Amino acid sequence: MSMKKSIVFFIAALLIYNSGRTQIYAGAPAKEIALPSVAGDTLRLSSLKGKVVLLDFWASWCGPCRASNRELVKVYSKYKSKGLEIFSVSLDNEKDEWKGAIKKDKITWFQVNDPGKWFAKTAIEWNIEALPTTYLIDKEGKLVAMDLRGKDLEKALKEMLNDE
């Protein structure tokens, strides 16, 4: 195959791959996620409408995700009673490793699994290119911010939950 044909083929493949990916932006409605929980029942992101939700994409094999879980445990403990929910989507292929990480990290919030790592349907729909990735969603189900951490996350939660 000539260099020119190779480049054309690569560009075409890239366009096809990205055609299913839409830009995520503040103010857009959160796309529905309906996936199996640890118990096997289907949990829906839309069932949390009316609450402030931190949508968290992670995996048990991701070191930064596991560190983030420790921080999220603290945030959830502090803001759950004020109306915060966390909805975590694991991209793990190995369910036993996923379940083990949940137990080890002491995660008590909503957990669902979409196996397939980077090629999981939800990862593609939400344009996930790094882990962990989080989206803050308001009570109306609209996206507010992406990848807030530490003091920035706390500030946004205080404002959204009227916790002065």
Evaluate if residue 11 carries a pLDDT over 60. no
When pLDDT is averaged across residues 38-62 and rounded to a whole number, the result is 97
User: What's this model's pTM, rounded to 2 decimal places?
Assistant: 0.84
When pLDDT is averaged across residues 63-90 and rounded to a whole number, the result is 97
- In this structure, are residues 120 and 64 in contact, taking their beta carbons and an 8 Å threshold? no
| Residue 120 banded pLDDT, cuts 50, 70, 90 | very high
Cα distance between residue 98 and residue 110, in whole Å = 13
- Mean of the per-residue pLDDT values for the chain? 89
When pLDDT is averaged across residues 57-78 and rounded to a whole number, the result is 97
User: For residue 139, what are the contacts with CB-CB under 8 A and spacing of at least 6?
Assistant: 49, 50, 51, 52, 83, 160
Evaluate if residue 162 carries a pLDDT over 90. no
Q: What is the pLDDT of residue 27?
A: 85
When pLDDT is averaged across residues 37-53 and rounded to a whole number, the result is 96
Per-residue model confidence as pLDDT tens digits over 18-41: 444 455 678 899 999 999 999 999
User: For residue 33, what are the contacts with CB-CB under 8 A and spacing of at least 6?
Assistant: 44, 45, 55, 87, 89, 112, 122
Q: What is the CA radius of gyration of the chain?
A: 17
Give the domains, in start order, of the chain with CATH numbers: 24-160 (3.40.30.10)
When pLDDT is averaged across residues 91-103 and rounded to a whole number, the result is 97
Q: What is the pLDDT of residue 21?
A: 47
Q: What is the pLDDT of residue 23?
A: 56
Pick 51 or 5 by higher pLDDT: 51
Which of 7-11, 40-44, 89-93 shows the lowest per-residue confidence on average (mean pLDDT)?
7-11
